[in-house]
């Protein structure tokens, strides 16, 4: 299974991971961190209260 296609697949996968990582890092840079932690907590509290 090792060959040019496997190498290209691995290269494309690592490239996709890098793109997703930079995208998430860019979002985290613009979004304040307290709201990032408060949002799941708020969702959890609202789902429990209902």
| Model pLDDT for residues 3-35, shown as the tens digit of each residue | 789 899 999 999 999 999 988 888 777 766 666
Better-scored residue on pLDDT, 39 or 9: 9
Better-scored residue on pLDDT, 45 or 10: 10
Please report the pLDDT score of residue 15 as a whole number.
Answer: 94
Tokens read off for 46: 């609202």
- The number of distinct structural domains making up the chain is 1
Please report the pLDDT score of residue 35 as a whole number.
Answer: 66
Are the C-beta atoms of 28 and 36 separated by less than 8 Å? yes
φ/ψ region of 2 (left if φ > 0, alpha if ψ in -120 to 50, else beta) reads: beta
Tell me the residue range of the domain where 27 lies: 4-49
CA separation (Å) from 46 to 6, 7, 32, 38, 40?
46, 47, 21, 12, 10
Please state, in angstroms and rounded to a whole number, the distance separating the CA atoms of residues 26 and 29. 5
Please report the pLDDT score of residue 1 as a whole number.
Answer: 57
């Amino acid at each position: 299974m090792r060959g040019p296609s496997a190498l290209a697949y691995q290269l494309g996968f690592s490239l996709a991971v890098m793109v997703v990582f930079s995208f998430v890092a860019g979002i985290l840079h613009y979004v304040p961190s307290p709201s990032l932690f408060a949002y799941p907590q708020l969702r959890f509290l609202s789902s429990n209260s209902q």
